[in-house]
Amino acid sequence: MKAVAAGTGTTPAWSGARASRLGVPPGVVRALWWVASIGCFAGMWEAVWALGWADPLLLPPPHIFLRNFADQAQFFVPSDVVGETTSASALESLGMTVVASSLRVIAGLSLGFVGSVAVGLLIRYFGLFGNLVLPTITLLAPISPIAWLPVAIFVFGIGNPPAIFMVFISLFFVMTLSTISQIDAVSRTYVNVGLIMGASRRQLFLQVIIPAILPSLFMVLRMNLFGAWMVVLVAEATGVGSGLGQIVMLARSTFNSSLSFFTMTLIGAIGFLFDVALRQVQSRVLFWVPASGVNRP
């Protein structure tokens, strides 16, 4: 959630951040602050290393774990995975690993979003269906996605399906309940306008309620993006046999701290790019919602 707001959108006037007086474009100013922030963080880390306080084997500073990019990339070649051999170069397999993890997240999030919004709408549209289904969903919702991992492997075995299922399940219950509460919270005026203008129940759902709830559902999706990344890494570490999660486990079992931090950097950068992408989708599809995602007063 904190990362959602980081360095984006408009900064409220009370936040203490001052506007530039030098006429520098705000985009440039923001980019400079990004560089400064990351520079401070990396600099402190490097300083701790330079002073000899941090063991480079356990906490290698950025210049060490980023130095031999090619060396790091070789670990991404899935040569030691049962039944898989490849002739891809180190860099290619790094790319393949990143794409594999990303696709799992995208597939899981898409299925989860569509599935949960559909189920939420059906629950509110068909009273009988809602009465039958809602208690079970409410009961299943608090179960941590991690607890579903064995189930995912029992049912789907090894490969992409269990990882996608894990992302799906991490989103599905939260999103279904959120859809229902958003439907219940749709402005009474909007519903009344629909009724007064002669909308049938079906038209009311399709043309008033769905557009009214989409913006907040998209916010819920964005907030769950980081959770989805967490879950996909766990799934990959355990049962899938490829992806960034497996590299993290490889780093752990070979005590390769450089590889661990390298992968973490990669995961952070990809997660950030995903959020940027989702924000772009939001501003294009949901054009009536202000860019920061916060409702106007």
Partner 1 sequence: MRSDAGNPPLLTCRDVGKVWPTTGRPFVALDGIDLDVARNEFVVFLGPSGCGKSTLLYLIAGLERVSSGTIESGGSVVEGPGTDRGLIFQESSLFPWMTVGENVAFGLRLQGVAPARRREAAIALLRKVGMADAVDKRPDQLSGGMRQRAAMARALSLRPEVLLLDEPFAALDVQTRSKMQDFLIEVWRDSGASMLFVTHHIDEAVALADRVVVFTARPGRIKSIVPIDLPRPRDPRSPEARALADHLTDLLRDEVDRAFAEQERLR
Shortest Cβ 210–partner 1 spacing (Å): 10
Question: How many residues form the binding site for partner 1 (CB under 8 A)?
Answer: 18
Task: Rule CB under 8 A: say whether 186 interacts with partner 1.
Answer: no
Please give the structure tokens belonging to residue 91: 């860099």
Task: Rule CB under 8 A: say whether 297 interacts with partner 1.
Answer: no
Q: 152 or 219, CB closer to partner 1?
A: 219
- Spatial separation of the C-alpha atoms in residues 77 and 93, rounded to whole Å: 5
Exactly one of 190, 205, 226, 272 binds partner 1 (CB under 8 A); that residue is 190
CB atoms under 10 Å from CB of 133, counted, come to 15
Secondary structure (H, E, C), the chain: CHHHHCCCCCCCHHHCCCCCCCCCCHHHHHHHHHHHHHHHHHHHHHHHHHCCCCCCCCCCCHHHHCCCHHHHHHHHCCCCCCCCCCCCCHHHHHHHHHHHHHHHHHHHHHHHHHHHHHHHHHHHHCHHHHHHHHHHHHHHCCCCHHHHHHHHHHHHCCCHHHHHHHHHHHHHHHHHHHHHHHHHCCCHHHHHHHHHCCCCHHHHHHHHHHHHHHHHHHHHHHHHHHHHHHHHHHHHHHHHCCCHHHHHHHHHHCCCHHHHHHHHHHHHHHHHHHHHHHHHHHHHHCCCCCCCCCCCC
- The position carrying tokens 């269906």 is 129
Exactly one of 197, 276, 281, 294 binds partner 1 (CB under 8 A); that residue is 197
Stretch that binds partner 1, among 26-34, 203-211, 216-224, 276-284 (CB under 8 A): 203-211
Task: Rule CB under 8 A: say whether 198 interacts with partner 1.
Answer: yes
Stretch that binds partner 1, among 69-77, 149-157, 166-174, 200-208 (CB under 8 A): 200-208
Exactly one of 1, 35, 128, 196 binds partner 1 (CB under 8 A); that residue is 196
- The position carrying tokens 């219940």 is 184
Exactly one of 105, 208, 221, 235 binds partner 1 (CB under 8 A); that residue is 208
Shortest Cβ 4–partner 1 spacing (Å): 22
Q: 211 or 268, CB closer to partner 1?
A: 211
- Spatial separation of the C-alpha atoms in residues 77 and 74, rounded to whole Å: 6
Q: 163 or 183, CB closer to partner 1?
A: 183
Exactly one of 74, 110, 160, 207 binds partner 1 (CB under 8 A); that residue is 207
Task: Rule CB under 8 A: say whether 185 interacts with partner 1.
Answer: no
CB atoms under 10 Å from CB of 177, counted, come to 18
Task: Rule CB under 8 A: say whether 211 interacts with partner 1.
Answer: yes
Task: Rule CB under 8 A: say whether 205 interacts with partner 1.
Answer: no
Q: 121 or 231, CB closer to partner 1?
A: 121
Stretch that binds partner 1, among 45-53, 137-145, 167-175, 193-201 (CB under 8 A): 193-201
Shortest Cβ 294–partner 1 spacing (Å): 14
Q: 39 or 211, CB closer to partner 1?
A: 211
Binding footprint of partner 1 on the chain (CB under 8 A): 189-190, 192-193, 195-200, 203, 207-208, 211-212, 286, 288, 296
